[in-house]
Protein backbone atom coordinates (compact mmCIF):
# COMPACT_ATOMS: atom_id res chain seq x y z
CA UNK A 1 0.00 0.00 0.00
CA UNK A 2 1.36 3.46 -0.92
CA UNK A 3 0.30 4.79 2.44
CA UNK A 4 2.26 8.04 2.20
CA UNK A 5 1.59 8.82 -1.43
CA UNK A 6 1.65 12.59 -1.95
CA UNK A 7 3.18 13.33 1.47
CA UNK A 8 6.31 15.48 1.74
CA UNK A 9 8.49 14.57 4.70
CA UNK A 10 11.56 16.44 5.94
CA UNK A 11 13.64 13.74 7.64
CA UNK A 12 16.09 15.25 10.14
CA UNK A 13 18.99 13.05 11.21
CA UNK A 14 20.96 14.08 14.29
CA UNK A 15 24.13 12.60 15.73
CA UNK A 16 23.37 9.29 17.38
CA UNK A 17 24.42 5.79 16.42
CA UNK A 18 20.76 5.07 15.61
CA UNK A 19 21.37 7.22 12.50
CA UNK A 20 22.07 3.94 10.70
CA UNK A 21 18.37 3.11 11.16
CA UNK A 22 17.48 6.45 9.55
CA UNK A 23 18.84 5.16 6.23
CA UNK A 24 16.42 2.24 6.42
CA UNK A 25 13.64 4.61 7.48
CA UNK A 26 14.31 6.81 4.44
CA UNK A 27 14.04 3.71 2.23
CA UNK A 28 10.73 2.68 3.82
CA UNK A 29 9.35 6.22 3.48
CA UNK A 30 10.24 6.30 -0.20
CA UNK A 31 8.69 2.85 -0.68
CA UNK A 32 5.51 4.10 1.01
CA UNK A 33 5.28 6.84 -1.62
CA UNK A 34 6.56 9.87 0.34
CA UNK A 35 8.86 12.54 -1.07
CA UNK A 36 11.78 12.92 1.33
CA UNK A 37 14.15 15.81 1.98
CA UNK A 38 16.90 14.67 4.32
CA UNK A 39 18.55 17.27 6.55
CA UNK A 40 21.63 16.21 8.52
CA UNK A 41 23.20 17.93 11.49
CA UNK A 42 27.02 17.99 11.50
CA UNK A 43 27.03 15.16 14.03
CA UNK A 44 24.41 13.22 12.03
CA UNK A 45 26.64 13.46 8.95
CA UNK A 46 29.49 11.90 10.96
CA UNK A 47 27.42 8.74 11.44
CA UNK A 48 25.86 8.37 7.96
CA UNK A 49 27.04 10.46 5.02
CA UNK A 50 24.90 12.51 2.66
CA UNK A 51 25.56 10.24 -0.38
CA UNK A 52 23.76 7.37 1.34
CA UNK A 53 20.60 9.41 1.82
CA UNK A 54 20.90 10.98 -1.62
CA UNK A 55 21.06 7.53 -3.23
CA UNK A 56 18.06 6.30 -1.23
CA UNK A 57 15.81 9.33 -1.71
CA UNK A 58 16.96 10.37 -5.17
CA UNK A 59 17.01 13.97 -3.94
CA UNK A 60 19.62 16.45 -2.71
CA UNK A 61 20.57 16.17 0.95
CA UNK A 62 20.93 19.28 3.10
CA UNK A 63 23.01 20.16 6.08
CA UNK A 64 24.38 23.67 5.81
CA UNK A 65 22.47 26.77 6.83
CA UNK A 66 24.46 28.68 4.23
CA UNK A 67 23.76 26.24 1.39
CA UNK A 68 23.77 28.22 -1.86
CA UNK A 69 21.70 25.62 -3.77
CA UNK A 70 18.48 27.34 -2.67
CA UNK A 71 17.74 30.29 -4.99
CA UNK A 72 17.09 32.72 -2.16
CA UNK A 73 19.69 31.28 0.26
CA UNK A 74 16.89 30.49 2.70
CA UNK A 75 17.03 26.72 2.99
CA UNK A 76 15.61 26.92 6.52
CA UNK A 77 12.40 28.47 5.17
CA UNK A 78 12.09 26.74 1.81
CA UNK A 79 12.56 23.20 3.09
CA UNK A 80 9.76 23.36 5.62
CA UNK A 81 7.28 25.13 3.33
CA UNK A 82 5.14 22.57 1.57
CA UNK A 83 6.30 19.81 3.93
CA UNK A 84 3.52 17.83 5.56
CA UNK A 85 5.71 16.98 8.49
CA UNK A 86 9.23 17.26 9.90
CA UNK A 87 10.38 13.97 11.40
CA UNK A 88 13.60 13.88 13.45
CA UNK A 89 14.98 10.34 13.69
CA UNK A 90 17.16 9.88 15.58
CA UNK A 91 16.57 12.83 17.90
CA UNK A 92 19.45 13.08 20.39
CA UNK A 93 19.12 14.43 23.93
CA UNK A 94 21.06 17.50 22.79
CA UNK A 95 18.73 18.13 19.86
CA UNK A 96 15.61 17.70 22.03
CA UNK A 97 17.09 20.29 24.42
CA UNK A 98 17.66 22.68 21.53
CA UNK A 99 14.10 22.20 20.28
CA UNK A 100 12.69 22.79 23.75
CA UNK A 101 14.46 26.12 24.02
CA UNK A 102 13.87 27.26 20.46
CA UNK A 103 17.55 27.35 19.60
CA UNK A 104 18.41 27.82 15.94
CA UNK A 105 22.14 27.47 15.37
CA UNK A 106 22.19 25.07 12.43
CA UNK A 107 19.99 24.26 9.44
CA UNK A 108 17.87 21.56 11.10
CA UNK A 109 17.15 23.43 14.35
CA UNK A 110 16.45 26.62 12.38
CA UNK A 111 13.99 25.00 10.05
CA UNK A 112 12.25 23.33 13.03
CA UNK A 113 11.80 26.78 14.56
CA UNK A 114 10.64 28.28 11.26
CA UNK A 115 8.27 25.42 10.41
CA UNK A 116 4.56 25.69 9.69
CA UNK A 117 3.92 21.94 9.81
CA UNK A 118 3.81 19.33 12.60
CA UNK A 119 7.08 18.20 14.21
CA UNK A 120 7.63 14.56 15.20
CA UNK A 121 10.66 13.23 17.05
CA UNK A 122 11.99 9.69 17.61
CA UNK A 123 14.39 9.99 20.55
CA UNK A 124 17.55 7.85 20.69
CA UNK A 125 20.01 7.97 23.55
CA UNK A 126 21.63 6.14 26.44
CA UNK A 127 19.15 5.15 29.17
CA UNK A 128 20.65 7.53 31.77
CA UNK A 129 20.43 10.41 29.32
CA UNK A 130 16.79 9.52 28.63
CA UNK A 131 15.91 9.24 32.33
CA UNK A 132 17.74 12.42 33.33
CA UNK A 133 15.42 15.06 34.77
CA UNK A 134 16.57 17.52 32.10
CA UNK A 135 15.58 15.24 29.19
CA UNK A 136 12.29 14.29 30.85
CA UNK A 137 11.50 17.98 31.41
CA UNK A 138 12.35 18.73 27.79
CA UNK A 139 10.20 15.90 26.42
CA UNK A 140 7.25 16.96 28.59
CA UNK A 141 7.62 20.54 27.36
CA UNK A 142 7.82 19.39 23.74
CA UNK A 143 4.55 17.51 24.29
CA UNK A 144 2.95 20.70 25.61
CA UNK A 145 4.30 22.53 22.55
CA UNK A 146 2.48 20.05 20.29
CA UNK A 147 5.47 17.96 19.25
CA UNK A 148 4.70 14.23 18.86
CA UNK A 149 7.20 11.85 20.43
CA UNK A 150 7.58 8.36 18.94
CA UNK A 151 9.10 5.94 21.47
CA UNK A 152 11.75 5.42 22.64
CA UNK A 153 11.84 1.63 23.03
CA UNK A 154 13.51 -0.33 25.78
CA UNK A 155 16.19 -2.91 25.25
CA UNK A 156 19.87 -3.45 24.63
CA UNK A 157 21.71 -0.26 23.72
CA UNK A 158 24.73 0.39 21.53
CA UNK A 159 26.71 1.34 24.66
CA UNK A 160 26.12 -2.14 26.09
CA UNK A 161 23.61 -1.03 28.73
CA UNK A 162 19.94 -2.08 28.80
CA UNK A 163 16.98 0.22 29.34
CA UNK A 164 14.70 2.83 27.79
CA UNK A 165 16.21 5.10 25.16
CA UNK A 166 16.63 2.95 22.04
CA UNK A 167 15.16 4.47 18.92
CA UNK A 168 12.14 2.59 17.56
CA UNK A 169 12.86 0.35 14.60
CA UNK A 170 12.45 1.99 11.18
CA UNK A 171 9.28 0.00 10.44
CA UNK A 172 7.77 1.07 13.77
CA UNK A 173 8.47 4.75 13.03
CA UNK A 174 6.88 4.29 9.62
CA UNK A 175 3.76 2.81 11.26
CA UNK A 176 3.65 5.72 13.74
CA UNK A 177 3.91 8.21 10.90
CA UNK A 178 1.14 6.51 8.90
CA UNK A 179 -1.02 6.53 12.05
CA UNK A 180 -0.22 10.22 12.59
CA UNK A 181 -1.86 11.06 9.25
CA UNK A 182 -5.08 9.15 9.98
CA UNK A 183 -8.09 11.23 11.15
CA UNK A 184 -8.69 10.82 14.88
CA UNK A 185 -12.28 9.62 14.46
CA UNK A 186 -12.32 7.51 17.63
CA UNK A 187 -10.59 9.88 20.05
CA UNK A 188 -11.48 9.06 23.67
CA UNK A 189 -13.22 5.81 22.65
CA UNK A 190 -12.28 2.60 24.44
CA UNK A 191 -12.56 -0.27 21.98
CA UNK A 192 -12.57 -3.98 22.83
CA UNK A 193 -11.98 -6.37 19.92
CA UNK A 194 -11.95 -10.16 19.59
CA UNK A 195 -9.92 -11.66 16.76
CA UNK A 196 -8.73 -14.94 15.31
CA UNK A 197 -10.09 -18.44 15.79
CA UNK A 198 -10.61 -20.29 19.06
CA UNK A 199 -9.18 -23.73 19.73
CA UNK A 200 -11.34 -26.24 21.60
CA UNK A 201 -9.23 -29.06 23.00
CA UNK A 202 -10.31 -32.67 22.51
CA UNK A 203 -7.24 -34.10 24.24
CA UNK A 204 -3.68 -32.79 24.88
CA UNK A 205 -2.79 -32.87 21.17
CA UNK A 206 -6.04 -32.53 19.24
CA UNK A 207 -8.71 -29.91 19.02
CA UNK A 208 -11.45 -28.20 17.00
CA UNK A 209 -10.68 -24.91 15.35
CA UNK A 210 -11.33 -23.02 12.11
CA UNK A 211 -9.45 -21.28 9.32
CA UNK A 212 -9.57 -17.71 10.65
CA UNK A 213 -6.16 -16.01 10.28
CA UNK A 214 -6.98 -13.12 12.63
CA UNK A 215 -5.78 -10.62 9.99
CA UNK A 216 -9.08 -8.71 9.75
CA UNK A 217 -9.40 -8.36 13.54
CA UNK A 218 -5.78 -7.25 13.88
CA UNK A 219 -6.22 -4.77 11.01
CA UNK A 220 -9.27 -3.36 12.79
CA UNK A 221 -7.33 -3.08 16.03
CA UNK A 222 -4.64 -1.14 14.19
CA UNK A 223 -7.18 1.09 12.43
CA UNK A 224 -8.84 1.87 15.79
CA UNK A 225 -5.46 2.77 17.38
CA UNK A 226 -4.68 4.97 14.37
CA UNK A 227 -8.07 6.67 14.85
CA UNK A 228 -7.09 7.60 18.41
CA UNK A 229 -8.92 4.85 20.34
CA UNK A 230 -7.61 2.99 23.35
CA UNK A 231 -7.69 -0.62 22.13
CA UNK A 232 -7.77 -3.96 23.91
CA UNK A 233 -7.44 -6.95 21.61
CA UNK A 234 -8.51 -10.40 22.82
CA UNK A 235 -6.76 -12.76 20.42
CA UNK A 236 -7.24 -16.46 19.79
CA UNK A 237 -4.27 -18.53 18.60
CA UNK A 238 -2.75 -16.57 15.68
CA UNK A 239 0.76 -15.83 14.46
CA UNK A 240 0.49 -12.06 14.06
CA UNK A 241 2.36 -9.09 15.53
CA UNK A 242 0.40 -6.98 17.97
CA UNK A 243 -0.57 -3.65 16.40
CA UNK A 244 1.51 -0.88 18.03
CA UNK A 245 -0.42 0.75 20.83
CA UNK A 246 -3.00 -2.04 21.27
CA UNK A 247 -3.13 -3.99 24.54
CA UNK A 248 -3.27 -7.70 23.67
CA UNK A 249 -4.76 -10.51 25.75
CA UNK A 250 -4.05 -13.99 24.36
CA UNK A 251 -6.60 -16.75 24.85
CA UNK A 252 -7.15 -20.20 23.39
CA UNK A 253 -10.73 -21.42 23.87
CA UNK A 254 -14.11 -19.73 23.48
CA UNK A 255 -14.63 -19.97 27.24
CA UNK A 256 -11.35 -18.13 27.87
CA UNK A 257 -12.26 -15.55 25.23
CA UNK A 258 -15.62 -14.99 26.90
CA UNK A 259 -13.99 -14.57 30.34
CA UNK A 260 -11.42 -12.10 28.98
CA UNK A 261 -14.17 -10.09 27.26
CA UNK A 262 -16.41 -10.05 30.32
CA UNK A 263 -13.52 -8.80 32.47
CA UNK A 264 -12.86 -5.93 30.10
CA UNK A 265 -16.30 -5.02 28.81
CA UNK A 266 -17.27 -2.62 31.61
CA UNK A 267 -14.50 -0.32 30.41
CA UNK A 268 -15.45 -0.49 26.73
CA UNK A 269 -17.41 2.05 24.70
CA UNK A 270 -17.29 -0.13 21.60
CA UNK A 271 -17.13 -3.93 21.26
CA UNK A 272 -16.17 -5.45 17.91
CA UNK A 273 -16.51 -9.22 17.65
CA UNK A 274 -14.30 -10.24 14.75
CA UNK A 275 -13.26 -13.60 16.20
CA UNK A 276 -14.46 -16.76 14.50
CA UNK A 277 -15.52 -18.30 17.78
CA UNK A 278 -16.00 -22.08 17.56
CA UNK A 279 -19.71 -22.75 17.90
CA UNK A 280 -19.15 -26.01 19.79
CA UNK A 281 -16.60 -27.57 22.13
CA UNK A 282 -16.09 -31.20 23.08
CA UNK A 283 -17.82 -32.31 26.25
CA UNK A 284 -14.97 -32.90 28.68
CA UNK A 285 -11.28 -32.71 27.73
CA UNK A 286 -9.34 -35.96 27.89
CA UNK A 287 -6.28 -35.67 30.12
CA UNK A 288 -4.36 -38.20 28.01
CA UNK A 289 -4.12 -38.61 24.27
CA UNK A 290 -7.06 -40.66 23.02
CA UNK A 291 -5.80 -43.83 21.34
CA UNK A 292 -6.70 -44.47 17.74
CA UNK A 293 -9.64 -46.79 17.11
CA UNK A 294 -11.49 -47.76 13.91
CA UNK A 295 -14.06 -45.02 14.54
CA UNK A 296 -14.64 -42.42 17.18
CA UNK A 297 -17.33 -39.94 18.07
CA UNK A 298 -17.08 -36.70 20.01
CA UNK A 299 -19.96 -35.22 21.98
CA UNK A 300 -20.18 -31.47 21.50
CA UNK A 301 -21.81 -28.75 23.55
CA UNK A 302 -22.59 -25.22 22.32
CA UNK A 303 -20.18 -22.43 23.25
CA UNK A 304 -21.46 -19.17 24.74
CA UNK A 305 -22.24 -16.50 22.15
CA UNK A 306 -19.92 -13.76 23.39
CA UNK A 307 -21.25 -11.02 21.12
CA UNK A 308 -24.92 -11.73 21.89
CA UNK A 309 -24.11 -11.75 25.61
CA UNK A 310 -22.30 -8.40 25.42
CA UNK A 311 -25.02 -6.83 23.27
CA UNK A 312 -27.76 -7.88 25.70
CA UNK A 313 -26.08 -6.33 28.77
CA UNK A 314 -27.63 -3.25 30.32
CA UNK A 315 -25.53 -0.25 29.19
CA UNK A 316 -23.99 -2.40 26.46
CA UNK A 317 -21.16 -0.84 24.47
CA UNK A 318 -21.78 -0.03 20.80
CA UNK A 319 -21.59 -3.57 19.35
CA UNK A 320 -20.28 -4.56 15.95
CA UNK A 321 -20.60 -8.12 14.67
CA UNK A 322 -19.05 -9.94 11.75
CA UNK A 323 -20.83 -12.38 9.50
CA UNK A 324 -18.63 -14.57 7.32
CA UNK A 325 -20.90 -16.47 4.96
CA UNK A 326 -20.45 -18.63 1.91
CA UNK A 327 -23.82 -17.63 0.37
CA UNK A 328 -26.91 -15.40 0.92
CA UNK A 329 -24.71 -12.75 2.55
CA UNK A 330 -27.31 -10.00 2.79
CA UNK A 331 -30.08 -12.05 4.35
CA UNK A 332 -27.81 -13.96 6.78
CA UNK A 333 -25.89 -10.86 7.86
CA UNK A 334 -29.01 -8.76 8.33
CA UNK A 335 -30.64 -11.69 10.15
CA UNK A 336 -27.70 -11.80 12.61
CA UNK A 337 -27.85 -8.05 13.11
CA UNK A 338 -31.48 -8.21 14.11
CA UNK A 339 -31.22 -11.45 16.14
CA UNK A 340 -28.22 -10.24 18.18
CA UNK A 341 -29.58 -6.66 18.40
CA UNK A 342 -26.49 -5.09 16.83
CA UNK A 343 -26.33 -1.59 15.35
CA UNK A 344 -23.72 -2.73 12.80
CA UNK A 345 -22.71 -6.00 11.14
CA UNK A 346 -19.78 -6.39 8.75
CA UNK A 347 -20.57 -9.11 6.24
CA UNK A 348 -18.24 -10.84 3.85
CA UNK A 349 -18.23 -13.90 1.67
CA UNK A 350 -15.57 -16.27 2.99
CA UNK A 351 -14.26 -16.79 -0.52
CA UNK A 352 -13.40 -13.04 -0.62
CA UNK A 353 -11.39 -12.76 2.56
CA UNK A 354 -10.53 -15.88 4.52
CA UNK A 355 -6.79 -16.06 5.26
CA UNK A 356 -5.74 -13.55 2.59
CA UNK A 357 -4.59 -9.93 2.83
CA UNK A 358 -7.55 -8.55 0.86
CA UNK A 359 -11.19 -8.41 1.76
CA UNK A 360 -14.48 -7.21 0.28
CA UNK A 361 -17.16 -6.42 2.85
CA UNK A 362 -20.64 -4.96 3.05
CA UNK A 363 -21.85 -3.09 6.12
CA UNK A 364 -25.37 -3.68 7.39
CA UNK A 365 -26.97 -1.14 9.70
CA UNK A 366 -30.46 0.23 10.38
CA UNK A 367 -30.28 2.19 7.10
CA UNK A 368 -29.56 -0.82 4.94
CA UNK A 369 -26.56 -2.32 3.16
CA UNK A 370 -23.39 -0.34 2.39
CA UNK A 371 -20.82 -2.15 0.22
CA UNK A 372 -17.23 -0.95 0.81
CA UNK A 373 -14.48 -0.94 -1.81
CA UNK A 374 -12.49 -4.13 -1.99
CA UNK A 375 -8.93 -3.71 -0.77
CA UNK A 376 -6.16 -4.54 1.67
CA UNK A 377 -7.63 -5.54 5.05
CA UNK A 378 -6.11 -2.43 6.67
CA UNK A 379 -7.76 -0.15 4.11
CA UNK A 380 -11.06 -1.97 4.61
CA UNK A 381 -10.64 -1.69 8.39
CA UNK A 382 -10.13 2.08 8.09
CA UNK A 383 -13.35 2.34 6.05
CA UNK A 384 -15.21 0.31 8.69
CA UNK A 385 -13.86 2.69 11.37
CA UNK A 386 -15.14 5.67 9.37
CA UNK A 387 -18.65 4.20 9.19
CA UNK A 388 -18.55 3.14 12.84
CA UNK A 389 -17.46 6.63 13.94
CA UNK A 390 -20.31 8.20 11.97
CA UNK A 391 -22.86 5.88 13.62
CA UNK A 392 -21.43 6.59 17.08
CA UNK A 393 -21.47 10.37 16.65
CA UNK A 394 -24.97 10.18 15.13
CA UNK A 395 -26.08 8.09 18.14
CA UNK A 396 -24.55 10.66 20.50
CA UNK A 397 -26.21 13.60 18.78
CA UNK A 398 -29.59 11.76 18.63
CA UNK A 399 -29.26 11.07 22.36
CA UNK A 400 -28.68 14.78 23.02
CA UNK A 401 -31.71 15.87 20.95
305 belongs to the binding site for ligand C5P (CB under 6 A) = yes
Catalytic residue among 112, 159, 224, 319: 159
> Quick check: is 117 catalytic?
no
Beta strands 162-166 and 153-156 are antiparallel
Enumerate residues 6+ apart whose C-beta is below 8 A from 206: 289, 290
Using the minimum distance from each CB to ligand C5P, give the nearer residue, 20 or 280: 280
Which span sits near ligand C5P by CB under 6 A: 167-175, 270-278, 367-375, 389-397? 270-278
Spatial separation of the C-alpha atoms in residues 25 and 122, rounded to whole Å:
11
273 belongs to the binding site for ligand C5P (CB under 6 A) = yes
Using the minimum distance from each CB to ligand C5P, give the nearer residue, 193 or 246: 193
Which one of residues 28, 91, 307, 361 is an interface residue with ligand C5P (CB under 6 A)?
Answer: 307
Write down the least CB distance from residue 272 to ligand C5P, Å: 8
194 belongs to the binding site for ligand C5P (CB under 6 A) = yes
Write down the least CB distance from residue 277 to ligand C5P, Å: 4
SS3 181: helix
- Torsion on CA atoms 286, 290, 294, 296, rounded to nearest 10: 10
- Of 175, 2, 164, the C-alpha closest to 93 is 164
SS3 283: coil
322 belongs to the binding site for ligand C5P (CB under 6 A) = yes
Spatial separation of the C-alpha atoms in residues 383 and 396, rounded to whole Å:
20
317 belongs to the binding site for ligand C5P (CB under 6 A) = no
The secondary structure element, H or E, covering residue 64 is none
Using the minimum distance from each CB to ligand C5P, give the nearer residue, 186 or 278: 278
The half-sphere exposure of 161 on its side-chain side, counting CA atoms within 13 A, is 11
Using the minimum distance from each CB to ligand C5P, give the nearer residue, 65 or 262: 262
SS3 306: helix
306 belongs to the binding site for ligand C5P (CB under 6 A) = yes
381 belongs to the binding site for ligand C5P (CB under 6 A) = no
In SS3 terms, 94-150 reads as: HHHHHHHCCCCCCHHHHHHHCCCCCEEEEECCCHHHHHCHHHHHHHHHHHHCCCEEC
220 belongs to the binding site for ligand C5P (CB under 6 A) = no
Using the minimum distance from each CB to ligand C5P, give the nearer residue, 277 or 363: 277
Write down the least CB distance from residue 62 to ligand C5P, Å: 51
Which one of residues 39, 251, 277, 388 is an interface residue with ligand C5P (CB under 6 A)?
Answer: 277
SS3 81: coil
109 belongs to the binding site for ligand C5P (CB under 6 A) = no
Using the minimum distance from each CB to ligand C5P, give the nearer residue, 83 or 344: 344
- Yes or no: say if 185 and 389 are a contact pair by the CB < 8 Å rule: yes
- Of 79, 88, 76, 228, the C-alpha closest to 147 is 88
10 Å CB burial of residue 367 (0-12, 13-18, 19+) is exposed
Cα–chain center distance at 27: 20
Write down the least CB distance from residue 278 to ligand C5P, Å: 7
Using the minimum distance from each CB to ligand C5P, give the nearer residue, 11 or 192: 192
Which span sits near ligand C5P by CB under 6 A: 15-23, 117-125, 321-329, 365-373? 321-329
Which one of residues 336, 337, 377, 382 is an interface residue with ligand C5P (CB under 6 A)?
Answer: 336
Write down the least CB distance from residue 345 to ligand C5P, Å: 8
Handedness of CA 102, 51, 181, 354 (dihedral sign): negative
Write down the least CB distance from residue 307 to ligand C5P, Å: 3
234 belongs to the binding site for ligand C5P (CB under 6 A) = no
Spatial separation of the C-alpha atoms in residues 22 and 40, rounded to whole Å:
11
Which span sits near ligand C5P by CB under 6 A: 47-55, 142-150, 297-305, 381-389? 297-305
Spatial separation of the C-alpha atoms in residues 126 and 162, rounded to whole Å:
9
Q: Site for ligand C5P (CB under 6 A): how many residues? A: 15
275 belongs to the binding site for ligand C5P (CB under 6 A) = yes
Which one of residues 111, 174, 323, 372 is an interface residue with ligand C5P (CB under 6 A)?
Answer: 323
- Yes or no: say if 167 and 89 are a contact pair by the CB < 8 Å rule: yes
Residues serving a catalytic function are 159
Give the footprint of ligand C5P on this chain (CB under 6 A): 194, 254, 273-275, 277, 303-307, 321-323, 336
Amino acid sequence: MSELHGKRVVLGVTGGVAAYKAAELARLLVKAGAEIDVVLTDAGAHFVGAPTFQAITGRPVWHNLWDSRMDNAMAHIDLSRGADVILIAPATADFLAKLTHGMADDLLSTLCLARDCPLLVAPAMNRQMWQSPATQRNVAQLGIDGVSVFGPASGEQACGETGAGRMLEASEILDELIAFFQPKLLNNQRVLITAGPTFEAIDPVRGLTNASSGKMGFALARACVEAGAQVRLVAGPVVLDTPRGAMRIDVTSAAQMRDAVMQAVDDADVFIGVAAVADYRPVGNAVHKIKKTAAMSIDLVANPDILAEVASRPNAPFCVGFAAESQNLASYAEGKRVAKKLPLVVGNLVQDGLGGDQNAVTLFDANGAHPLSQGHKLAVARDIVKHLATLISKGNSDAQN
